[in-house]
Amino acid sequence: MKKSKLLYEGKAKKIWQTDNDNLYIAEFKDDLTAFDAQKRSQAQGKGALNCKISANLFRLLEKNGIKTHFVECISENEMVIKKADMIMIEVVVRNIATGSLTKRLGIADGTVLPFALVEFYYKNDALHDPLINDEHALILELVDNESELEELKRLGREINVVLKSFFDKANLNLVDFKVEFGKDSEGNIILADEISPDSCRFWDKTSGEKLDKDLFRHDLGDVKVAYEEVLNRIQKVIQ
């Protein structure tokens, strides 16, 4: 599989066209951004770590019946993915309150939520990815109908059940995460993008230590060391 044209360069990945019409290559970059890309840095090796972590989690989810865009890894920081018509919604699932939820609603940081909360954000950099409800999503025509929104919620919750119990075995609390979905060539909704410590929050179950991008957001420690730890724990659980 060969990269041909660069289709898109985002904050964390480059998406390449290939010689196969249905497949792209996602190249994971070492760039780190936070707060609407106002804070920027790089961590050498971060792209490779996120590529490996995502690949492992996509495989785990596939094994548990969730369809993803993942095909195979072809280098340290590149994976072949199925081309998807992206749904411009960021689906956030939360088990423990932190980040924007605590700021918006005044819920104390660290509060365990009584059930997994699913939220939709409009994926639109110019508007700073605002929180939206189902009716906004329909009016903006981000999906075709209400049942697609229900499917996004169901998939978000299913992914949460699989990942939460997996990370439990790695002594990590899955605090919250963001996922993106797209439609494949047959119109099926599939999980796309990435699942990594850039897009999830992990807290060590014993010490409470953060092992995710919050280390970069709030200058709390070395991102690369933390992401390596997440990958090591994932590999131990999988063995």
Residue 24 engages ligand ADP in binding (rule: CB under 6 A):
yes
Q: Please report, as a single letter, which amino acid is at residue 200.
A: C
Only segment of 11-19, 38-46, 146-154, 171-179 that touches ligand ADP (CB under 6 A): 11-19
CA distance 81 to 83: 6
C-alpha 196/C-alpha 143 separation (Å) is: 25
Q: Which is nearer to ligand ADP, 84 or 230 (CB)?
A: 84
Binding to ligand UDP (CB under 6 A): which residues in 75-94? 90, 92
| Residue 51 within binding range of ligand ADP, rule CB under 6 A | no
183 binds, among ligand ADP, ligand UDP, none (CB under 5 to 8 A by kind): none
Structure tokens, 49: 């770590």
The minimum distance between CB 33 and ligand ADP, in angstroms, equals 8
* Per-residue CA distances from 16 to 6, 26, 83, 178 (Å): 5, 6, 10, 23
Q: Cβ closer to ligand ADP: 82 or 210?
A: 82
Identified binder of ligand ADP from the candidate list 1, 3, 15, 157, rule CB under 6 A: 15
Percentages (nearest 5) of helix, strand, coil residues in the chain = 35, 35, 30
Determine the interface stretch with ligand ADP among 7-15, 111-119, 153-161, 220-228 (rule: CB under 6 A): 7-15
**Which residue, 76, 67, 89, 60, is CA-closest to 166?**
60
Tell me: does residue 178 bind ligand UDP (CB under 6 A): yes
12 binds ligand ADP (CB under 6 A): yes
First to last CA, the chain: 29
What DSSP designation does 134 have?
H
Q: Do residues 110 and 54 make contact, with C-beta atoms less than 8 angstroms apart?
A: no
Question: Which of 13, 183, 210, 233 is in the footprint of ligand ADP by CB under 6 A?
Answer: 13
24 binds, among ligand UDP, ligand ADP, none (CB under 5 to 8 A by kind): ligand ADP
Q: Which secondary-structure segment (H or E) carries 232?
A: helix 223-238
* DSSP tag of 68: B
Chain residues in the site for ligand UDP (CB under 6 A): 90, 92, 99-101, 129, 176-178, 199-201, 213
Chain residues in the site for ligand ADP (CB under 6 A): 8, 10-13, 15, 24, 69, 81-84, 86, 180, 182, 192-193
